[in-house]
Structure 1
Amino acid sequence: MRVLVIGGTRFLGRTIVEEALARGHQVTTFNRGQSGADLPGAVAVRGDREVTADLERLADGHTWDLVVDTSGYVPRVVGESARTLSGHVATYAFISSVSAIDGFPGKPATESSGVWDCAPDAGPDDGDYGVLKAGCERAVEQGFDGNVLIVQPGLILGPYENVGRLPWWLNRISQGGPVLAPGDPGTPMQLVDARDVAVFTLDQAELGTASRFAVTGPAGNTTYGEWLELGKEATGSDAEFVWVDDRFLVDQEVGTWVELPLWGGPPSDEVANFWSVPTAKAEAAGLRVRPVAETVRDTWAWLRDVPEAERSYGAKALHGIAPEKEAAVLAAWAARSA
């Protein structure tokens, strides 16, 4: 197949390019050349998707079997890409998010759940991440004349992660000593490897599938405690996890999701269904998810090759608690427990 990837140098986009090349596809990437290195074997076209002339130059005289849009966050921007590429591509695969599902994670997601109400021409200030992803889905569906494949991934981890979730935890665990661990170690999680999302997306595109799929790991494919222990095992660390009560962490003003990545705070109705996205439809279509242990091990193997001074990969997301704050919270917890 002739495959066009919008983005293609970071995390999921890079993983999709690798998988497509491994399958023998002819791959073109379209990006500004600012976020990462191009993969050998792919033809790189420089341009900004927010510049109409760049999009028109990309499409002029070219056709592809598939475009995978890995970097669409603003509906009106995605809509222009869909309209410009219409007639030049057979299938438009848009990488959305389970956050686009209406009511999620407060309400349960279902295989037939609709998405948030967001106009296909919405701008960057017209909603949060999930709402705008919903608008992006509509922009593709309404603007592209051809097969539309919508992939709604759950929480993605794996090599090349540029968000700083698993990399931060691996770096912190590798340093050893007492490690602040949040809440209940038995909290079930639902994680998916970027490589499995890439495989599923390309499998469906090769079949010409036009549908929408929630793509994540099976509910409960690990727990928070198991996940951190896998990090300890992978790094060979002597870390000692100190499990601190959710409410105590909130009282200490520890930020959810960011300061302690993947910790959502005390159980609440607002996030009650975050780790319970149904995957039956995707599994019936062929989704296979590798063990979380493999994801953790391979991410550490990749991260070890990143120079230590650069291990804040994805640091612009500011994930991870500051060492001095972690120490202060651990001291306060120890004093309370004494």
Structure 2
Amino acid sequence: MPATRRAFALSTLAAAALGASATAQPKVKPMRILILGGTGFIGPHQVRHALSRGHKVTVFNRGRRPDDFPPEVEELVGDRNTSDLKALEGKTWDVCIDNPTTLPFWVRDAAKVLKGNVGHYLFVSTMSVYATQDRPGEDETAPTAAYAGADAFAERGPAKPELYGPLKAVSETEARSQFGAGATTIVRPGLIVGPGDETDRFTYWPVRLARGGEVLAPGDGSDPILYVDARDLAEWTIRLVEQRTAGTFNAIGPARPLTTKGLLDGVAKGVGAKPTYVWAPADWLAEKNVNGWSDLPVWLPGQGRTAGFHRRSNAAAINAGLTLRPLETTAADTLAWWKTLPEERRAKPRTGLSPERETALLAERRAKA
């Protein structure tokens, strides 16, 4: 079977790699779980964990990957872009997990079919819903971004980047309106990382540090970092629906403050590397058109308009049972997954500095020293 993100997530390797979230969990009555999507980053991990808990799982998607799931998973085919939800009609589930929705009309259309036929609805949103990212320590009560167009429900995808947060915020409101606040869970992840991440936003660091040598590192090492392993997020969503936990939660970790240096040190330990860091101030990186999140991923400046991005409170999620495996485990597993990918894929990372550009920047930093 080809080594894909779904194959990996459903494999015994992924199951064996569980960290803090693998602690013993009480048995629960088996449920019928509907997962809208299921073929993306967190969906396969949700499917695997739900099956391990004894639940019956149905996934609803466009049917483009019919061999991704084991036989016991029911796969219904439709297309939310065209409001084709016929496959969901006349069926009931205990809970619904909505993974891929960005556009509010997807929530509205799903509710037309599912309202009254599911007992609980969990919507995977995003930390990008917040109106601003410059205030450290804000929790889930912080203001969300307002949609400025004429009709959010008239928007069709893919959404423009600047509308991503506002449309997710409208989708959250629609979810509570349709399914009721007491039967709705809103999960707002930050950066989702780990095996199966096709964006390479975190993968850059395990791969880069494992390569060794001098490493261009952003800032001075003291900027804060938040992230969540896709497996921890996926398993927690299953626990939330098992417990019918309603509310809104920032799904981010770690449980204790982490700095950029702490991130790089943890990744290095996980992949068995001993790098030499060359720290570059944020203003110097800006002068060189080196961007956080894309060129030097995960990191964003801990000052100015992004001062609060990596400083949001995750207390509510931790209190609601979010458990987080060690950074070293996430790094090691991510590198192991990366090595299973075809050579042509690994030759073209989707995020991060190219070796050539990093070498040139390192030379400039040394000349400046």
Provide the TM-score with structure 2 as the length reference.
Answer: 0.81
CA displacement, residues 164-192 of structure 1 (integer Å, 9 cap, x when unaligned): 11212222222222221111223222222
- Structure-1 residue corresponding to 2:201: 165
Change over 3 Å in CA distance of 1:237–1:34 after alignment to 2? farther
**CA contact 2:123–2:187 (8 Å) conserved in 1:** yes
Which of 23, 33, 46 pairs up with 2:53? 23
Once residues 182 and 117 of structure 1 are traced to their aligned partners in structure 2, the CA distance between those partners, rounded to angstroms, is 32
Task: Tell me the equivalent position of 2:129.
Answer: 100
Q: Please report how far the alpha carbon of residue 105 of structure 1 lies from its aligned counterpart in structure 2 after TM superposition.
A: 4.3
Count of aligned pairs:
331
Identical columns (%): 37
Inter-partner Cα distance in structure 1 for 2:242 and 2:347: 36
Matches within 5 A, 1:1-20: 1-20=31-50
Contact map agreement 1:191 1:292 (CA 8 A) in 2: no
1:138 counterpart SS class:
helix
> Where is the strand percentage greater, Structure 1 or Structure 2?
1
Match of 2:317 among 257, 269, 282: 282
For residues 36 and 332 of structure 1, what CA distance do their matches in structure 2 show?
50
Whether the 8 Å contact between 1:234 and 1:300 is mirrored in structure 2 is: no
Instruction: Note the C-alpha offset of 1:107.
Output: 6.4
Name the CA distance, whole Å, in 1 between partners of 2:208 and 2:247: 40
- C-alpha root-mean-square deviation of aligned residues, in Å? 2.5
Q: Could you tell me which amino acid in structure 1 is paired with residue 42 of structure 2?
A: L
Give distance in 1, aligned partners of 2:163 and 2:82. Answer: 23
1:33-82 CA distances to partner (integer Å, 9 max, x unpaired)?
Answer: 44795221422222221122x31x22122111111111011122232223
Superposed, 1:147-186 pairs within 5 Å as 147-186=183-222
> Hey, what's the Cα distance between the residues in 1 that align with 2:354 and 2:67?
30
- Conserved? CA contact 1:168–1:320, under 8 Å: yes
Q: Which runs of 5+ in 1 are unaligned?
A: none
TM-score scaled by structure 1? 0.88
Indicate conservation of the 8 Å contact 2:127/2:189, yes or no. Answer: yes
Read off the aligned partner of 1:6 and give its amino acid letter.
L
Gaps of 5+ in 2: 1-30
Pick closer, same or farther for the CA change 1:78–1:11 going to 2, 3 Å: same
Determine if contact 2:60/2:75 at 8 Å carries over to the other structure.
yes
Task: State the match for 1:273 in structure 2.
Answer: 308
* Structure 1 residue 28, shift from structure 2 partner: 1.1
Please say if residues 164 and 319 of structure 1, whose CA atoms lie closer than 8 Å, have aligned partners that are also in contact. yes
User: Which of 344, 348, 358 does residue 326 from structure 1 map onto?
Assistant: 358
- Rounded Cα–Cα distance in structure 1 between residues aligned with 2:268 and 2:67: 30
- Within 2, Cα distance between the matches of 1:2 and 1:79? 22
How far is the alpha carbon of 1:106 from its aligned partner?
4.3
2:96 partner amino acid: V
Contact 1:79 1:120 in 2 (8 A): no
Distance 1:213 1:248 in 2: 36
Contact 2:125 2:168 in 1 (8 A): yes
**In the TM superposition, what are the counterparts of 1:248-259 in structure 2 within 5 Å?**
248-259=284-295
1:291 aligns with 2:326: yes
Q: Secondary structure at the match of 1:77?
A: helix
Q: Which residue of 2 aligns with 1:90?
A: 119
Alignment of 1:112-127 (within 5 A): 112-118=141-147, 121=153, 123=155, 124-125=159-160, 127=162
Contact 1:153–1:216 (8 Å) recurs in 2: yes
Which residue of 2 is the match for residue 336 of structure 1?
Answer: 368
Query: For each residue in 1:246-271, what CA deviation from the matched residue of structure 2 results, as whole angstroms up to 9, or x when unmatched?
Result: 21111111122111101214x43211
Q: Using the TM superposition, name which of 104-113 and 63-72 deviates more.
A: 104-113
How far apart are residue 291 of structure 1 and its match?
A: 2.2
- Offset, 1:122: 5.5
Counterpart in 1 of 2:75?
A: 44
Bigger CA drift: 140-149 or 8-17?
140-149
